[in-house]
Structure 1
Amino acid sequence: MIKALLIVFLATVCSFAQTYSKNEVEKMIAKMVILGFNGTSIDKNSQIYKDVEFGLGGVILFDKDPNDKTKVKNIESKAQLKKLNQQLQNISNRKLLISVDQEGGVVQRLKSDMGFVNTLKASEIALKDEDFAKQTYQNLAKDLSSVGINLDFAPVVDLAINKDNKVVVTRGRSFGEDSKVVTKYASIFVDELQKEGVLSTLKHFPGHGSSLADSHLGFVDISNTWSKKELEPYKYFIKNNKVDIIMTAHVFNENLDKKYPATLSYNVNTKLLREDLGYKGVLITDDLQMSAISKHYDLKETLTLAINSGVNFLLFANQLAKPVSLDEIIKTVYAQILNKQIPLQKIVDSNKKIDELLNKL
């Protein structure tokens, strides 16, 4: 039995070793990861420095340490943040994605007391005219580019369907219930980011605006509340070729997939988004440490299901749970490739999509 397993293992290794070395495969896996880390400055001894040097795809920055809100995590001032991002970007000749959640309202990591502009929440922007929205998002985009941030996890294109929705609607993160209004204002947001060389992210696919629960806190079932009209903003942006990245939602809908939440669902991410809606670009997970995922799946299951579902970027914000290291992610995915649980082609295809995305910068 052991001998037979060894033969299978060696055959698997040989099958792609002819094309890629172990180190090359590990670097391709690293490119698919966006990681959160602690620190307002770095040096060559910092783990994040070593991760970027190896081939990490990107980082995500936060202002506060979630375990102690009095402590700074990455962002304390404009000058400090610009220096940090320059340090990160200079580690390698490759373009590093430096990302942040900067929507406006309650979700903005770059605060006015640090010298950044304060941006109104989406629900308030939608009450203003287009010129106001354009000026608002132009200011936001300039703030991002001025400190070296090249990826914003915004805009939210969820429809405000459920007025009691605690994660999106009551927090004013949606532009409204009407998809035409949402696409109009989200489109302005995307355009202004693009002008400043900042990539945008449409979120949260296939729609989080009808949910009753918060996927940060646990399982979210939208089977009885979700409707196909929540896909309309995605259809608009895909049709008009205005998408940089789409982010998945950790929501479960038995009408789309009887077993898995959207982030881990082949039915949602490949059949619906890629085949039915025709999306060819980069798909990123929402934070894989949110309770909707982490309380129900271990790291191996999460990584395997996410990659096989059609996801290209794996986001570990290291905010909500015990930090996950790049090394741990790489080793887990590599072992699953050897075990034939993840096709190597999925890794290769994701790297091609990521390279195409980076060419926009």
Structure 2
Amino acid sequence: MVTARRRTPATVLAVATAGVLAFSLVACSPQDGGTGGTTDDAPTTAASPAASATASDPATPPAEQPTSCVDGEQDLATLAASTLAVGVVGFDDAVQAVDAGVRHIFIGSSTDLSILDGQGDPGRSISALKQRAADAGGELTVSVDEEGGQVQRLGSVIGDLPSARELAETRSPEEVRGIYAEHGRKMGELGITMDFAPVVDLAGGESISDNAIGDRAFSDDPGVVTGYGRAAVDGLLDAGVTPVIKHFPGHGHATGDSHEGTVTTPPVGEMGADLAPFAELSQIPGVAVMVGHMQTPGLDTGDGSVLGAETPSSLNPAAYALLRDGIGGDGGAGGAGGEKGPGFDGIVFTDDLTGMQAITDLHDGPQAVVQALRAGADAPLTSTAADVPATVAGLVAAVENGELDRGRLTEAAGRLCAV
């Protein structure tokens, strides 16, 4: 069942037109002219009316421009590996990834939690991996899907976190900020530096089986989602954990589950409310964004080479252009629907490219990673470190044959290491 969406006055995006939202491939890359994962399949929870919250201040300043920290002369394979975010099972495969140049690992549902700091042998811990990366001249980011409710990986170690829906129904935004801050501090003690949360999709179905969201959403009201999303973001930042808002451009009113196949949203001209939380929360300094695999009709490149109705957003240059160029009242380019907001220049992740059928039905892992980086992603997410050698080889080949510009890799790696 799809719940009704209520539009808020100034902070919610007005209806866009597909023509205004056509972008060119050249416009997708901010600098060089080219351009998690979630494996949540837990049981569902019944819904009840959502509580209201105050939308956050739209005057939030944009995130600062990252400073490049990439050696432009470094080995191409090492540069390619440094753009990847990969899932690990345990210490041994994490070591192999780090030694290959990977600087982002994530803790998934199959990870041996003894790798976490304080949970096992200190010599085979996240801290040991961070030191290994530092010895090689880099810093290691460690992420996790810790949303709360049905999607959390660390409950057995640091305790349960209620679902977004439950929090919005039972707690104030101020209380939610404190809850996420405390949970974030516990994650930090385990060595976690980044959380793929909060979900800022609107609620479009009662249960997770409707579209993979269900009670992962705070509400069907964009103002409530924005208010509680800000509380979660602020709480994680208070704890020193980087929040990653997801799943851009909005999964709440999509049909289907991208873990199991193709997912389609309403036409982009009808997605103003879904885009509203991303437009505002992406401007909080320190926030990253995850792009989902939904196909969005009308989110097309200007030359017609990529059609949103046929291309997952994670591989669609127009989706990254919409985020980078600034989401406005008309959905992206200013004009009759409202002035365009500031663009996002932080890190953009993809959802898992190797464990979700919305992508694997179209491309193998290395091909998907190449396409995601070409489209504008900074950190293509893959679910297993075992894929690293083939993925790096695929990226090197793509640069050497002209399919992918080396400058695109440098740009992506620069954003990642700046964190």
Per the normalisation by structure 2, the TM-score is 0.71
Structure 1 residue 131: Cα displacement:
3.4
Q: Give the structure 1 partner of residue 221 of structure 2.
A: 178
* Residue 103 of structure 2 is aligned to residue 57 of structure 1: yes
Change (3 A) 1:164 1:198: closer
Which structure 2 residue ranges, 5 or more long, are not aligned? Answer: 1-70, 301-306, 328-342
2:345, 2:381 → 1: CA distance?
Answer: 19
How high is the sequence identity, in percent, across the aligned residues?
26
SS in 2 for 1:161: coil
Which of the residues 339, 346, 358 maps onto 1:281?
Answer: 346
Summarize deviations over 1:59-85 as a string: whole Å, max 9, x none.
Answer: 11124x3xxxxxxx3215873269421
SS in 2 for 1:251: coil
Does the 8 Å CA contact 2:316/2:375 hold for their aligned counterparts? yes
* Residue 112 of structure 2 is aligned to residue 74 of structure 1: yes
Summarize deviations over 1:172-208 as a string: whole Å, max 9, x none.
Answer: 1001011111111111111111122111101000000
Structure 1 residue 24: Cα displacement:
2.0
Query: Which consecutive segments of 4 or more residues in structure 1 shift more than 3 A?
Result: 162-165, 223-226
Which of the residues 379, 382, 399 maps onto 1:337?
Answer: 399
Structure 1 residue 355: Cα displacement:
2.4
Which of the residues 107, 127, 131 maps onto 1:90?
Answer: 131
SS in 2 for 1:119: coil
SS in 2 for 1:98: strand
Structure 1 residue 326: Cα displacement:
1.4
1:236, 1:82 → 2: CA distance?
Answer: 42
Does the 8 Å CA contact 1:160/1:168 hold for their aligned counterparts? no
Summarize deviations over 1:149-184 as a string: whole Å, max 9, x none.
Answer: 0010000000113446634442x1001011111111
Change (3 A) 1:335 1:233: same
* Residue 167 of structure 2 is aligned to residue 125 of structure 1: yes
Task: Decide which structure has greater helix share.
Answer: 1
| Letter matched to residue 122 of structure 1 | A
* Residue 253 of structure 2 is aligned to residue 191 of structure 1: no
Q: Give the structure 1 partner of residue 387 of structure 2.
A: 325
SS in 2 for 1:118: coil
Structure 1 residue 224: Cα displacement:
5.2
Q: Give the structure 1 partner of residue 331 of structure 2.
A: none
SS in 2 for 1:91: helix
Change (3 A) 1:275 1:120: same
Which of the residues 351, 362, 374 maps onto 1:308?
Answer: 374
RMSD: 2.1
Structure 1 residue 117: Cα displacement:
2.3
1:229, 1:20 → 2: CA distance?
Answer: 41
Does the 8 Å CA contact 2:320/2:377 hold for their aligned counterparts? yes
- Which structure is higher in RCO with an 8 Å CA cutoff and minimum separation 6? 2
Which of the residues 262, 269, 272 maps onto 2:320?
Answer: 269
1:95-114 paired onto structure 2 within 5 Å:
95-111=139-155, 113-114=156-157
Q: Give the structure 1 partner of residue 4 of structure 2.
A: none
SS in 1 for 2:274: helix
Does the 8 Å CA contact 2:229/2:281 hold for their aligned counterparts? no
Which of the residues 26, 32, 37 maps onto 2:83?
Answer: 32
Q: Give the structure 2 partner of residue 244 of structure 1.
A: 287
Which structure 1 residue ranges, 5 or more long, are not aligned? Answer: 1-18, 66-72
| Letter matched to residue 372 of structure 2 | A
Does the 8 Å CA contact 1:34/1:56 hold for their aligned counterparts? yes
1:110, 1:217 → 2: CA distance?
Answer: 25
SS in 1 for 2:75: helix
2:143, 2:366 → 1: CA distance?
Answer: 25
